[in-house]
Structure 1
Amino acid sequence: MSAFMDPAMHFPVKTTATFSVSKPGLKLDQIGLAKKAIAPSKSSTVVPTIASRMETSDTRIHHLIEKEVAVVVPSCFDALSAALLEKTGFKAGCISGYAPSASLLAKPDLGLLMPPEMAERARSVCSAVPFMPIIADAESGGENALNIQRTIKDLIAAGAAGCFLEDQAWPKPSVCTLMIPRLQAGADASLVETPRSLEELIEIGEKTTGYRVCYMVEGGVTPMLTPEELKSYGYHLIVHPLTTLYASAHAMLDVLKALKDEGSTRDHLDRMATFEEFNQLLSLGSWIKLEAWISNLRYGACKS
């Protein structure tokens, strides 16, 4: 299923949206990814499939894959976490379904976050990192064809470079469901979610073609492998959907417990960024210079 066009409407299966970000006419291209659920099984058999790819590959995600072969894609759940991804040198990011549900609603990923809310979160994330391609989790897109079309258009308008689109009934049958990709024309990559062993990971790489996506979830059932290892098994997008969420939650809990128990963070300053470090993360100096430059322009215009 195309992530960016409604197949029921027989629209083109992939689009390129042009937005004015920092340079007029800058193209923010879209990549679609599809996945489908089946019942979980300890002895799951991976179905041989063929990933559909377009004749052209003129998108930022395609270019990254062609350049690096395997791309590590950490998750971000707000504008700040997206900016941190960019500052640490990552080339792409994603917005998983669980992370915004937790950060926005303090609720688990049970379908409580609606597509318009995800699009709004994508808008703030993409605005913070306009030159980093962001892939958003569109879940099922809203179930029916019209809702899927609206979801995809909203994500394109928000600046997303692509999305994961599921084809499955809601609610999800199990959090450990093995995902088998539904590969119609327009899906740029396939995702088999929650393989339970190295053997399954290898088998997926051997029995599918086209671009492959692999989720690396800390504490999950899928073996944690390095990018080089996954590249050797034929994977191209290595998504860490919960890394930043888990790390930030753990760090906040630690320092809040210390504050509650001791009444002060005086002995735990090494756990936090300093005032100066945090301002640097937000590029405060650049914003001050920009404000001064704009003010000088306005002052000069008023004098003339």
Structure 2
Amino acid sequence: MSTRIHQILEQSGTVVFPGIYDALSAKLAQEAGFELAFVSGFSVAATMLGEPDFGLLTQTEITDAARRICRAVDIPIVVDADTGYGNPLNVYRTVRELIEAGAVGCLLEDQVWPKKCGHMRGKRVVERGEYIEKIRAADEARRGHDFFLIARTDALAVHGIDEAIARVEAARTAGSDASFVEAPTSVELLAEIGRRSPGPNVANMIVGGRTPLKTKEELTELGFQLIVHPVGGLFAATSAIRKVFGELATTGDERGTAAEQVSFTEFTDIVGLEEKYAFAKRFGVE
């Protein structure tokens, strides 16, 4: 089945896209001209709960976040569905809920629940057969819908490269659309994944993460077609907020950081204030 993500890949070859976590970050991604965006579980856990990506985010919370985000923008949204939040029955429900929320794809991984961020220590994975049943359930849940299924494995850190490749190969046979071997720690591993894993392949770029940072061109050459930067926006926003709040707490005045802030008018343009005025006027509301 050809989905919107397949069509983007056919047109662009290699796609770089950002991680988002709420309607505002989604609007900024769309404004920047990205063809799609990714709802990062790491970022939603941080912004919604103030917690690390440690298996604390629930299916309902990620689905609610996805629904708000999908309503706010026109670009296609892929959602981090973690492990599917249970067995294949839970996976089936998760995919159906995400489709109803307006998402056009999800990432499904093979960690033991509760999971951890792929760049954290102490990861464990379920048996390969158990994971493949989840992929089969997700594939059945999305049939007849524009929905792109990414099979992610964390087996590289636990069992090594051969098992990781075997899992994404089995997942593709079971119905997934793309392969994601998480957290390779060297350029050599990236190259081996790009050579052996069935494409399209996902590369996960995190500043300070376990995987070497590479450009779009370098990753394309290594065999990757979907390049996600899941937390760059979150980390930048955190740095900016910390600086503004620190200045305000120290001096009682935020004018010292005014140059780093968007203006009131710029911000209201982003969230569509004038469009709301025009819409309200149609109904006699000033």
Answer yes or no: same fold by TM over 0.5.
Answer: yes
Q: Tell me the distance in 1 between the aligned counterparts of 2:5 and 2:180.
A: 15
The aligned counterpart of 1:125 is 69
Classify the secondary structure of the residue corresponding to 2:174: coil
Q: Give 1:213's match in structure 2, choosing from 202, 223, 237.
A: 202
How far does residue 293 in structure 1 lie from its aligned partner after superposition?
2.9
Q: Tell me the distance in 1 between the aligned counterparts of 2:115 and 2:30.
A: 32
Q: Tell me the distance in 2 between the aligned counterparts of 1:291 and 1:227.
A: 44
Classify the secondary structure of the residue corresponding to 2:190: helix
Q: Give 1:107's match in structure 2, choosing from 51, 56, 60.
A: 51
Q: Give 2:265's match in structure 1, choosing from 261, 276, 293.
A: 276
Residue type at the aligned position of 2:222: Y
Classify the secondary structure of the residue corresponding to 1:120: helix
Residue type at the aligned position of 1:151: T
Residue type at the aligned position of 2:280: E
Residue type at the aligned position of 2:177: D
Q: Give 1:155's match in structure 2, choosing from 79, 85, 98.
A: 98
The aligned counterpart of 1:93 is 37
The aligned counterpart of 1:82 is 26
Residue type at the aligned position of 2:100: A
The aligned counterpart of 1:21 is none
How far does residue 145 in structure 1 lie from its aligned partner after superposition?
1.9
Q: Tell me the distance in 2 between the aligned counterparts of 1:294 and 1:85.
A: 31
Superposed CA offset, 1:2-31 (max 9, x none): xxxxxxxxxxxxxxxxxxxxxxxxxxxxxx
Classify the secondary structure of the residue corresponding to 2:248: helix
Q: TM-score, normalised by structure 1?
A: 0.75
Matches within 5 A, 1:200-239: 200-239=189-228
The aligned counterpart of 2:251 is 262
Q: Tell me the distance in 2 between the aligned counterparts of 1:277 and 1:170.
A: 42
Residue type at the aligned position of 1:169: V
Residue type at the aligned position of 2:106: C
Q: Tell me the distance in 2 between the aligned counterparts of 1:161 and 1:236.
A: 18
Q: Tell me the distance in 1 between the aligned counterparts of 2:111 and 2:90.
A: 15
The aligned counterpart of 1:138 is 81
The aligned counterpart of 1:7 is none
Q: Tell me the distance in 2 between the aligned counterparts of 1:234 and 1:290.
A: 47
Classify the secondary structure of the residue corresponding to 2:269: helix
Higher-Rg structure is: 1
Classify the secondary structure of the residue corresponding to 1:211: coil
Residue type at the aligned position of 2:254: T
Q: Tell me the distance in 2 between the aligned counterparts of 1:103 and 1:112.
A: 13
Structure scoring higher RCO (CA < 8 A, sep ≥ 6) equals 1
Classify the secondary structure of the residue corresponding to 1:132: coil
Q: Tell me the distance in 1 between the aligned counterparts of 2:110 and 2:193.
A: 19
Larger helix percent: 2
How far does residue 210 in structure 1 lie from its aligned partner after superposition?
2.3
Q: Tell me the distance in 1 between the aligned counterparts of 2:203 and 2:283.
A: 45
How far does residue 294 in structure 1 lie from its aligned partner after superposition?
4.2
Q: Does 1:168 align with 2:111?
A: yes
Classify the secondary structure of the residue corresponding to 1:160: coil
Q: Tell me the distance in 2 between the aligned counterparts of 1:252 and 1:244.
A: 12
Q: Give ranges in structure 1 of 5+ residues lacking alignment.
A: 1-55, 297-304
Superposed CA offset, 1:38-94 (max 9, x none): xxxxxxxxxxxxxxxxxx32x111111111111111011000000000001111000
Q: Tell me the distance in 2 between the aligned counterparts of 1:168 and 1:277.
A: 42
